[in-house]
Every structure is written in C-alpha cells, then in structure tokens.
Chains A and B, each alone.
Chain A
Amino acid sequence: MLYMDHSATTPPYDEVVDTVAQVMKRFYGNPSSLHGLGVEAHKLVQQARSVIAKAMNVKPEEIVFTSGGTESNNLAIKGALRAYRNRGRHLITTAVEHASVYECCRQLEREGYSVTYLPVDRTGAVRAGDVRDAIREDTVLVSVMHVNNEVGRIQPIGEIGSLLREYPRILFHVDAVQSIGKLKVSPAELGIDLLSCSAHKIRGPKGVGFLYRRAPVRLEPLLAGGGQEAGLRSGTENVPLIVGMAKAVRMAVERMAENTAHLYRLRARLIARISAMPGITVNGSETMEHMAPHIVNISVPGKKPEVIVHALEQHGIYISTRSACASGDDRPSRVLTAMGLDPARASSGLRISLSADHTESDIDFFCDTLQKVLDPSTLPV
C-alpha cells in the first residue's frame, strides 16, 4: 500500500494516537470546571498552548484552538472583517485559495463585502506588486496562502508581509495549512497577523487546528457560548485532540529540516522520471525553491484523471485529482484554470503528495506503475 495523498490528510503518529487515548481516558474533566479534575484538564490545554507557541515562536495567548483549518480560516477572515468594519468592507485574496477561504470570501460578497481575487502567473504564484495595486482606502484584510494545496506553489508571503508593513491598518492572514512542518513559518518575523493551521496535515488528529492571532488583533467570534479561548471560540475544549495536536506540531517543527531535505530529494526524483514520460506535463514552477517539497501536480490531457486514480488504486497506490475538498466537483480545476492552463490540462490534473517516510524505491514503484497504467494498450480512455 502506497499512500501518496498526504496533502489530503496524513496518518497520525502512533505516539499521537497513544497520547490522545491516554488523555481521553484519564483527563476527562471539563477545563472550565472549578474542581481538581477541571483544573488538571485546563492545565493540559494551557501546556498544549505553550508547546505550540514555543514551536511557532509566538506568545501562548496568541494561539486559539479551533476544529481545524476550515474553522481557522473562517474565524480569521470573517472575524477580522466584522471586528474592523469601521475600517472598510474590502478584502484582497487570490484566485487559488483553498475552498475554505474562497467560499468564505464568496459568502462575504453575498453579504455586501467587496473582494478582489488576484490572478496568478503560469507557475501559480500571485505577485506582490498586484497586492499593492489592489489596496484601497477601505481594504481591511489580505489573505494569501503560504503553499497552494493543489499544485504546491509557494506564494511570496515574505514580500507581501514586508509591503504590508507600510499599511499597518491592513491585516495579513496566511493559510499555512500545507506549509507547517515543511517550510519555516515564523509569523512574527514575516509581519503576519493571522495564521491558520490544521493538525491532520502534520500527522496529528483530525478535528482540531489552531489560529495564530497577533496579540493586538481583534476578532469577532464565529461561535457564541461559554466564552472559552478568551471569548474567541466558545465550546468545551477538546482536550485529547488539542494535546495530540501539540505533540504533532512539536514533532513536525523539530523534524522539519531533515524531512524537508529528504522530501526535496524525492520530489526531484519523481519530477525527473515523470518528465521523461510522454503526454504528461508537470504543473507549477520548474524552480525547486518555488515549490513545496511534498506536492507534485501533473496533467495528463486526454485522459480522465479519476480513471487513473482508480487504476493506481488497484495497484495499491493512493493519489488524488485535486484538493480533497473539491473532489466532488466535475468542472476543470479552479486553480489550474487560474494558472492559465487550457481546459484539457485543467481537467486532467493529478496530485501526488509525499511523506518524509517515503523512499526512493516508493517513487520508482509509483512511476513504473503510472507508466503501466498510462500505456494506451492497458487503459480504456
């Protein structure tokens, strides 16, 4: 079994599963309770917060626990726009954001907000200059993902953060769901005000994530209720998942340098072999440093990508056609179309996303199988 869909989700570390189970068994108190059981549970949540804050080089009170990347993105965008409605009703984002950002913006448009979706170049990157040109008097927020989940293109968030320093009243949100653990993410250094993360992309449990919120930034909460998370996210804290996530974040950041070096080697090998196969194009930038180490997106024009996915599955290999959050959609990929790919290439995208546990022979096996599967004599197109 060769699971190569790590951008969709990742198998949790054994240690994380054990931790979640143990905490769930022993520390079941409600962190808001007055008694000892509650206090213990509350301490675990605070310790998790400290561990994550330390790994991200931020202050513990700047971490808000959520149910995952989608909630973090919604809280960041809607929360900021609603809290700062006196500053305006305009926000700037890109055409290649994850559905949880994109749909959130569409929803806000229906509420009367104005959104600029910046175009990307043919490698899938937005241009910092375009961000500057789109800024208006009433711009409240800029939201740009760090790594595009479909294609793996790294966005110039360093440059955007720098330029936004000249606009201190404009908030900068970064969806870092695909970059944590693969690339260095240092919100304080990069001038980022809000940053979203999801645990199940870094071998933590599903159903939990966090939002980094630079201390002075205000947010209107999505959920009203008991006032947990300093009023920003009501709801009894999911202690076992939060602790599991803290462990996963720590492990991801600690192993990042080693893992990323290995992933880039695997990626280079994969690209080299795929480039030698006729009829396949690799999407994104040819420059390795512009691309995340774990994602490779290819187009096989003329073939149905779902058929290839299923054919590979018969050989025990799991990849995806696009973002898992968009799998049900028949239309050509929004992201590939934004990159200027013609409909044939935009509808035949395949995404291979790797783990640091993969080996060179895994890559070879994948490529051999892909070749076999694409052989016109075997594949009923």
Chain B
Amino acid sequence: MQADFIMLRLGELTLKGRNRSRFEQAALRDVRQRLRPFGGIRILHEFGRIYIQLNGEPYAPIAERLGRVFGLHSFSPVYRTAADLEAIRRTALNVMRSLPSKPATFKVTVRRTDKNFPHNSMEMNHLVGGYVLRHIDGLKVDVHRPDIELHVEIRQQAAYIYSYVEKGLGGFPVGSNGKALLLLSGGIDSPVAGWLAMKRGLEIEAVHFHSYPYTSERSRQKVIDLVKTLSRYTDSIRLHLVPFADLQTRLHQAYRGNLEITITRRMMFRIAERLAEQRGAEALVTGESLGQVASQTLRSLDTIGRVVSMPILRPLIMMDKSEIMEVAERIETYPISILPYEDCCTLFVPKSPSTKPRLIQVEFVEKRLDWMAEGIEQAVRNTETIVVSEEAPQETDVFF
C-alpha cells in the first residue's frame, strides 16, 4: 500500500509563542532540505498540522530520512480515500493488513468534520471496526490499551486513515541553539557526544588531531567516515584536521614526566578554542566522561579545562559506558569507532600518567616550553578543513 501523505508531529511541545514558531520553521527547513532528492513532494500546513504530500514518491526512503531529523517527535503514513463508507472500510482493512507486525488488539477512533456524512463518529467506529474484525483472524478490540489505534478522519472531499506511528528523534532542529566545536578522537565516545550535541540543537563542526606520519591514512579515513555518519543527521559537517605530530614530538623531547598527557590535552584545547573563535562557535564539546581513563578524573578535567574560557560541554559526563555504547550502535558510529587504527592519543603515553595533575605543577612545566605558543599558532594555521557529507560528489563517482 502506498501512503499518500506523511503527517509530522514536531517535538518540544513545551515551547510557546514565538519560540514555538521559530522551532517549527527550523524543523521544516531541515525536513525540506533533507528531502530535497524527492522532487515530487509538497509540504502542507493543513488542519493545524504539517503534512508531506508524497505525490507518488516512495514512503520508505523518505521515512528513513525523517527518522534522522532532529526536532521531529513522530510521524505517520496517512492514506487518503473517498469519503464513503465502503472506500473507508476497504482502505482501513488494507492499512491494518500492511502493518509491519500483526497487532493483537486495536481500536478505531473516528473524527468527522463533515457533518453531512451519513454516519456519526460512534456509528463509524462500529462500522469500520466491525468490518476489520470480520476480515482479519485473531484480532480483538481493546478500547483501553490497544496495540494499534486506527484513526479515521472524515472530511468533505476525502477521508484520511492512519495508524502506524514512527518515532522521531525528538530534540531540537540542528543549529537552533547555536554552534559548537566537537573534539573528535575517533574512539567510541566523541562521536556520541557530537550526536547528543546536535540533538540539543547545536550545529557542530569537528576538530581532529592527527599525527601523520605516526598515524596512518586509514585512521584519517576512519575519522572522515565517522563525521560522514554524523552528517546523516544534518546537512553537512565541517571537519578540521590539525597536524599535531610536531607539537607532540617536541613536547616528548622536552618533557617525559607523568604530566605529558595533561599538557598534550591542554595544547589540544588551546588549539580547539582558537579554531572555535575563528569559526564562530561558542562552546567546545568533548566525549569526556568521568573515571574512564587517567585524564578523566575531576582533577584532570579541571586542570585541562582551565586553558580555555569558553564553555566545555561534556554530554557523556554522567553516562555509563554501556549507555554510551548503546547510542553509538544506534547511530551506527560504533562499527567505525572500533576499527583498530591508532590515533594520536595513544602515541606518547608516559609509564604512569598522572590522575591528579596539580595546576601549579603543570603551569610550571609549561612555562619552560617557550616554543608552545608559536607551535599552537602554526598548527591552527596549517589546519586542513574539509566539508563532509554523505551526498558530496567524489572523484570516483564516475566509475559507478
């Protein structure tokens, strides 16, 4: 059965007034942009709701994309039929038959805005419900907690039937709450942090520190693939690749103590803040959580975070590893993250990295490293930026 419309329900119902309409505009803009490849569709505001008129475009790929638009609470395929009893019954039956899994119980809810329709809502509940019951085995009516609620809306020119509700992602439309810069390592956590930031309405750009030639082409490609996966939830994402080998080796030559990781991370944050300023981002986002590795104790987070003044958002800070992995699997970054290509973070690890680095000590060590300020500026200058999106044309497209 081909759906005629898709009914969209936008999220964050607690927003009122001007905020609500801004939210709606942003969500619709994203829906429009994401459905651009489907030239036949029309987006309508009708009867106080938002519909996508399919005009023959296929439901499944459109639904797949809608399932990745932040700001949508849920959506349903809607079937239109003539506003007469027999047509409504037949369509209702077909809708019930095409459900992805067979329900045990159902109920019919009829809304009738055309008062001239010969049967009233109560009668229609029975007329349609009874017809469906007669034609489907093993189905019962439950008016309190049915598996499926079959909605029938009867208007003057047509009747609209829907039942199946697909859950949307919820959240805020991307960018509706500002822009942030995501520190992306290539592990399991940082892509999840990025996704959660996007869900809360932040437009993100990503920064990745690579140590070529100590880290390979493959690990660079892995990071690009991670960003590509995240970009499926928005239009495209800018990825900034920072050449970090130089700074890392210089530090390693000048200092070998157990504050090496702390200082390395502080250099990364300084670079990230500079990039964020250049790109108009007002916060940094990291995949830091508490207690996983040496640099993720409260003391470390404090000592490292002191080098920047903009807010550092840590969406995973209180989450269990298993919760984080669940999200990573759902957003499909997990299989890419676990590919075993070394990243710069594992290169120069001291024998026992400090878990409680004292700020005074760190600042004391850093004061000696007079090459650092210039090194950081250079790294920022030599940063390569690429725009990553799933649909971006590639040189190899011609082969396919």
- Asked if B396 contacts A47 (CB within 8 A), the reply is yes
Write out the residue numbers on chain A whose beta carbons fall within 8 Å of the beta carbon of B264.
none
- Asked if A48 contacts B400 (CB within 8 A), the reply is yes
Q: Contact string, A146-181, partner B, CB cutoff 8 A, digits 1/0?
A: 000000000000000000000000000000000000
| Set A22, A34, A243, A246: member contacting B216, Cβ < 8 A | A34
Write out the residue numbers on chain B whose beta carbons fall within 8 Å of the beta carbon of A43.
221, 396
- Asked if B399 contacts A247 (CB within 8 A), the reply is yes
- Asked if A247 contacts B218 (CB within 8 A), the reply is no
- Asked if B394 contacts A35 (CB within 8 A), the reply is no
Is A328 close to B, CB under 8 A? Answer: no
Q: A35-B216, A57-B60 are in contact. Are A47 and B400 (CB under 8 A)?
A: yes
Overall SS of chain A's interface: helix
- Asked if B399 contacts A39 (CB within 8 A), the reply is no
Is B61 close to A, CB under 8 A? Answer: yes
Is B363 close to A, CB under 8 A? Answer: no
Is B217 close to A, CB under 8 A? Answer: yes
Q: Contact string, A40-53, partner B, CB cutoff 8 A, digits 1/0?
A: 00111001100100
| Set B61, B218, B397: member contacting A39, Cβ < 8 A | B218
- Assembly CA distance A34 to B397 (angstroms): 23
| Set B61, B217, B221, B397: member contacting A57, Cβ < 8 A | B61
- Asked if A34 contacts B400 (CB within 8 A), the reply is no
- Assembly CA distance A38 to B341 (angstroms): 14
- Asked if A246 contacts B400 (CB within 8 A), the reply is yes
Question: In residues 283-336 of chain B, which contact A (Cβ within 8 Å)?
Answer: 335
Write out the residue numbers on chain A whose beta carbons fall within 8 Å of the beta carbon of B400.
19, 47-48, 51, 243, 246-247, 250
Number of interface residues of B (CB under 8 A): 12
Instruction: Kindly report which residue of chain A lies nearest to residue B225, judged by CB atoms.
Output: A46
- Assembly CA distance A154 to B221 (angstroms): 44
- Assembly CA distance A43 to B217 (angstroms): 12
Write out the residue numbers on chain A whose beta carbons fall within 8 Å of the beta carbon of B397.
47
Question: In residues 15-41 of chain A, which contact B (Cβ within 8 Å)?
Answer: 19, 22-23, 34-36, 38-39
Write out the residue numbers on chain B whose beta carbons fall within 8 Å of the beta carbon of A61.
335
Q: Which of B221, B396, B397 has the most CB of A within 10 A?
A: B396
Number of interface residues of A (CB under 8 A): 21
Write out the residue numbers on chain B whose beta carbons fall within 8 Å of the beta carbon of A243.
399-400
Instruction: Kindly report which residue of chain B lies nearest to residue A244, judged by CB atoms.
Output: B399
- The distance from the CB of A20 to the nearest CB of chain B, in whole angstroms, is 9
Instruction: Kindly report which residue of chain A lies nearest to residue B61, judged by CB atoms.
Output: A57
Instruction: Kindly report which residue of chain A lies nearest to residue B221, judged by CB atoms.
Output: A39
- Assembly CA distance A243 to B396 (angstroms): 10
Instruction: Kindly report which residue of chain A lies nearest to residue B335, judged by CB atoms.
Output: A61
- Asked if A34 contacts B217 (CB within 8 A), the reply is yes
- Asked if B394 contacts A34 (CB within 8 A), the reply is no
- Asked if B60 contacts A39 (CB within 8 A), the reply is no
Write out the residue numbers on chain B whose beta carbons fall within 8 Å of the beta carbon of A23.
399
Q: A47-B394, A57-B60, A57-B61 are in contact. Are A35 and B399 (CB under 8 A)?
A: no
Q: Contact string, B202-233, partner A, CB cutoff 8 A, digits 1/0?
A: 00000000000000111001000000000000
Write out the residue numbers on chain B whose beta carbons fall within 8 Å of the beta carbon of A51.
400
- Assembly CA distance A163 to B65 (angstroms): 30
- The distance from the CB of A349 to the nearest CB of chain B, in whole angstroms, is 38
Instruction: Kindly report which residue of chain B lies nearest to residue A59, judged by CB atoms.
Output: B332
- Assembly CA distance A47 to B396 (angstroms): 9
Instruction: Kindly report which residue of chain B lies nearest to residue A40, judged by CB atoms.
Output: B396
Write out the residue numbers on chain B whose beta carbons fall within 8 Å of the beta carbon of A44.
396, 399
Write out the residue numbers on chain A whose beta carbons fall within 8 Å of the beta carbon of B216.
34-35
- Assembly CA distance A255 to B251 (angstroms): 60
- The distance from the CB of A192 to the nearest CB of chain B, in whole angstroms, is 15
- Assembly CA distance A23 to B394 (angstroms): 15
Write out the residue numbers on chain A whose beta carbons fall within 8 Å of the beta carbon of B61.
57
Instruction: Kindly report which residue of chain A lies nearest to residue B390, judged by CB atoms.
Output: A50
- Asked if B399 contacts A22 (CB within 8 A), the reply is yes
- Asked if B221 contacts A19 (CB within 8 A), the reply is no
Question: In residues 36-91 of chain A, which contact B (Cβ within 8 Å)?
Answer: 36, 38-39, 42-44, 47-48, 51, 57, 61
Q: Contact string, B172-187, partner A, CB cutoff 8 A, digits 1/0?
A: 0000000000000000
- Assembly CA distance A229 to B396 (angstroms): 21
Q: Contact string, B382-400, partner A, CB cutoff 8 A, digits 1/0?
A: 0000000000001011011
- The distance from the CB of A18 to the nearest CB of chain B, in whole angstroms, is 9
- Assembly CA distance A47 to B221 (angstroms): 14
Q: Which of B216, B217, B397, B400 has the most CB of A within 10 A?
A: B400
- Assembly CA distance A43 to B399 (angstroms): 12
- The distance from the CB of A31 to the nearest CB of chain B, in whole angstroms, is 11
- The distance from the CB of A212 to the nearest CB of chain B, in whole angstroms, is 16
Write out the residue numbers on chain A whose beta carbons fall within 8 Å of the beta carbon of B394.
47
Write out the residue numbers on chain A whose beta carbons fall within 8 Å of the beta carbon of B217.
34-36, 38-39
- Assembly CA distance A48 to B394 (angstroms): 13
- Asked if A19 contacts B218 (CB within 8 A), the reply is no
Write out the residue numbers on chain A whose beta carbons fall within 8 Å of the beta carbon of B60.
57, 188
- Assembly CA distance A7 to B196 (angstroms): 51
- Assembly CA distance A61 to B335 (angstroms): 11
Write out the residue numbers on chain A whose beta carbons fall within 8 Å of the beta carbon of B221.
39, 42-43
- The distance from the CB of A39 to the nearest CB of chain B, in whole angstroms, is 5
Instruction: Using CB atoms and an 8 Å cutoff, list the residues of chain B in contact with chain A.
Output: 60-61, 216-218, 221, 335, 394, 396-397, 399-400
A-B contact list, 26 entries, CB within 8 Å: A19-B399, A19-B400, A23-B399, A34-B216, A34-B217, A35-B216, A35-B217, A38-B217, A38-B218, A39-B217, A39-B218, A42-B221, A43-B221, A43-B396, A44-B396, A44-B399, A47-B394, A47-B397, A47-B400, A48-B400, A57-B60, A57-B61, A61-B335, A243-B400, A246-B400, A247-B399
Instruction: Using CB atoms and an 8 Å cutoff, list the residues of chain A in contact with chain B.
Output: 19, 22-23, 34-36, 38-39, 42-44, 47-48, 51, 57, 61, 188, 243, 246-247, 250
Known: A23-B399, A39-B221. 7 other contacts (CB 8 A): A34-B217, A39-B218, A57-B60, A57-B61, A188-B60, A246-B400, A250-B400
Give me the 10 closest cross-chain CB pairs, A-B, nearest first: A39-B217, A36-B217, A51-B400, A19-B399, A34-B216, A243-B399, A39-B221, A246-B400, A247-B400, A34-B218
